[in-house]
Amino acid sequence: MGYEAELAAAREHVAFLYRRLDAERALAAGELVRVLRDNSATTPEERWQRQVSVDRLTARVQRFQAAESGLCFGRIDSSKGQRTYIGRIGLLDEENDYVSLLVDWRAPAARPFYCATAATPEGLVRRRHFHTRERSVLGIADDVFDLANAEGTPGSDGALLAALDAPREATMRDIVATIQAEQDEIIRLDHRGVLVIQGGPGTGKTAVALHRIAYLLYTQRRRLSRWGVLVIGPNPAFLHYIGNVLPSLGETDVVFAAMGELLPGLRTSTEDSAAAKRVKGSLVMVEMLAAAVADRQELPEVPIEIELEDVVVELDREVAAQARERARATGLRHNDARPIFRDQLIAGLTERAVDKIGEGWLEPADHALRAEFAADVCRELSRSSQLRTAIDLLWPELTPQRLLADLFGSPARIAAAAGGLDEVDHAALYREKGDDWTVSDVPLLDEAAGLLGTDGGAEQRAESERREQAEYAEGVLQILDTDEELDNEETLRAVDVIDPERLAERNLERDHRCLAQRAAADREWTYGHVVVDEAQELSEMDWRMIMRRCPNRSMTIVGDLAQRNSPAGARSWADMLDRYVPGRWACHQLTVNYRTPAEVMAIAAKVLAAVGAEFQPPESVRSTGIQPWAQRVDPGELATTLNRIVRSESGEGTLAVIAPEDTELAANADIRTPRQVKGLEFDRVIVLEPHQILADPEHGAVDLYVALTRATQRLGVLHTEPLPDILAGLSPRQG
C-alpha cells in the first residue's frame, strides 16, 4: 500500500477513535447532568453517594476533554501481526468484549513505542508516528525494524527530527510522541526516593520530568490524587510555558508554583542582591531566626508599674526572667508559649502584691486569707490593660512577616541575632523597608512560621468562620423544618436529628475547593510527590522548605549544575541531598541534546569550558546547516540595526532577544535577560553585547551559556565591542 493510501487509512481510523471519544464523553456528560438534577437524596448517606458520583463523572468528562488534542499519535505493529494504537487515554470497545481500541501511553503495553530500536526492536516490525493538528492527521512517518521489509534507513529517527525542527510555540508542547529510549527509561524508573535528572541544554529533562509525573499519577493514582503533586519552577513565566503539558495528558491534581509563591498570601518575583542571596540561602539563617525570636522575648530595662485597686506592683527583670525561663522550658513555639509567659507573670506579680498588701500584719501561715487576696489580685491582673501592654512589649504575638520585617529593617536587631556573621553580611541583610519581600525571603518566612506557631489572628479568623457557618446551618435547619409541614408531634424535626453546630462542622469538613486551591491556601499541606526544575539554583534554606512539604521524600529533581547562577545554589547534588535522603537518591544523566543544533552547540561548548572544565556539553543529534553569525555595530546604531534584523527574521516560529541585566534600548523587540529565558526555547535567538554579559565575575559565563543555548534553529550576536575570544568561531553576518 502506498503512502497516500496509508495516510487515508490512518485518517479514517483516527476519525473513528474521535467518534468513540465523542460518544463516551456524551454518555458521561449526560449521566453527570442526570445526577446533578436528581434531588431525591434525603439521608446523609444518599447525599454523600450522590456527591461521589458527581466527582467521578466530572473527572471522567474532564479526562475526555483533555484528550481532545492529539488523541492518537502512533501505532506499533508486532512481529505477530498485532496492531496497537497509542494515545493520550485508553479506549475500549464495550460492544465487542471490551477489545482495546486505543492504549494509554503510560500502560505497559505502550512501552515498545518508546523503547524499540533497530538493535532491540522489542518484538516490533514497525513504529508509526502520526503527525496531527487538533483532529486532523497531517502525515505519517515509520520506523521500520524488520530489515527484510525496510524501504529506508532502519530505526530512522525521522519523526523525532521532524518534531524537533518544527517551529516553537509560546507554551511547551508535550513530547509524549517523541520520547526516546534514554528518556523513557527515566520516566518509568521504579525509584521510591529522590530521582535527580541531570542534563545540559536541550536534553529534554523538563519534559521527561513532567511525563514521569504523569506516569506516576497513572501508576500510583490513589496515593498521588489524594495529596497531589507540586511542580516548582524558577519563575512564573517558565511555569506558564510548561503549564499545558500535564493538563494535556489528562492530569489535573498538580500544583504549579515558583519559589516566590510557596507561602500562602505572598507572591513575589523580586530577587535579592548576590550578597543577600548568599547569606539568606545559608543554613546559618536557621540559628539566626531562632535567635531573632528569642530576642523578642525581652526583659524590661526599668521596672514597669502595674496599678491595682489597693496596691502598685512592679514588673521588674527578676519577675520577667523567671516567667520567661518557665515559658521557654515548655518547649512550645513562641506564640503558643505566650499564654504560659502571661500566666507566670501574673503568678509572680500576685505573690508580690499579696506580700505588699499584707505587709506588717498578714502572717505567712494565714493561708486562707492569703488565698482570698491572691484570687482577687489574680482576677484584677488578668483584666489589667497595663499588664497587657507590658506583655505585648516583652513577649509580643508575632507573625512571620512582622518578625522578618522588624529584623531586616533594624541594624540593631540584625546584630543581636546574627551571631557569627560579619559586618558585610549584616549590611547585605539590612533594607530600609523591612517588608519588601524577595524570593529569598520566602523560605525564611516559612522557617519563622515553624518557630512562631499559631498567631491569635488566625484563631480569631477560624472562630469567625465557625460562627458564620453555625448561623448559616441554623437557618438551613429552620427552612427544612418549615418545609416538612409537620402533621403530628411524633414527626422528627431536623433539629432533633442534628444540631446547628454539628451541621456547621460537617459543612466545614466538606471542602469543595479543588486540590490546587486547598493546597495553595495551606502552608502545612504535604504533597505525595514534588518536582523541582532548575534545582541547581535552590539554596540550603529552599531545600528545608521543600522537604517540609514532602515528608515521604518522593521527588523528581531536574537541573544542570553547569547552569547554576545563584551564589547560594548547588555545587553538587550530594551537598544538598545527603542531609535529607542519605542513600535514597539517585542521579541519571541525559547526554543527548535534542534541541540545540550542532552548529550552535559548537559555539556554546567553548563558553561551557569557561564555566568549568569538569562540565561536558551534551551531544547534539541534529544539524541545520546554518552557522551562527555575529555583527559589530556602532553603539548609536545598535537599536536601529536590531530592529532591522528583527523585521527580517519575522516569520513562522518564535524569536528572543537576550541582553545583559539593566539594558535600556529603544528597540521594537521583546528584550529579556539570560535569567528570564532560563528553561525556555525559541526558534531564533539574538544575543546582545556578550562582552557585557561575561563581565559579571560571578556568573557571566553561565549567563552567556544559557543565552546561547536557547536557540533551536538560528543564533545571532550583535555587539558594539570586540567579540570575546571564546566566541571567535562566529561567522560574520551576511546582508
Binding residue ranges for ATP: 199-206
Residue positions forming the annotated binding site: 199-206
Burial (CB count within 10 angstroms: exposed 0-12, middle 13-18, buried 19+), residue 259: buried
Q: Are 323 and 344 in contact (CB under 8 A)?
A: yes
> What CA–CA distance (Å, rounded) separates 291 from 281?
17
Rg (alpha carbons) of the chain, rounded to whole number: 33
Query: All 3 cell numbers of residue 611?
Result: 564555566
How many beta carbons lie within 10 A of that of residue 595, not counting itself? 22
Please name the residue ranges forming H helices in 296-333. 317-329
CB atoms within 10 A of CB 101: 19
For 211-246, the three-class secondary structure string (H helix, E strand, C coil) is HHHHHHHHHCHHHHHHHCEEEEECCHHHHHHHCCHH
Phi and psi based region of residue 493 (left: phi greater than 0; alpha: psi -120 to 50; beta: remaining): beta
For 459, 515, 516, the CA distances from 512, given in Å and listed in that order, are 22, 9, 11
Angle at which helices 400-408 and 284-295 pack, to 10 degrees?
A: 100
Count other C-beta atoms under 10 Å from residue 133's C-beta: 9
Q: How far apart are CA 232 and CA 239, in angstroms?
A: 8
Cβ count within 10 A of residue 127: 25
- The grid coordinates of residue 682 equal 525559541
Q: Quick one: cell of 4?
A: 497516500
Question: What is the rounded (10 degree) CA torsion for 145, 148, 153, 157?
Answer: -10
What single-letter DSSP state applies at residue 710?
A: T
Q: What are phi and psi of 175, to 5 degrees?
A: -110, 25
Contact 565, 702 (CB under 8 A): yes
Closest CA to 335 of 392, 265, 415: 392
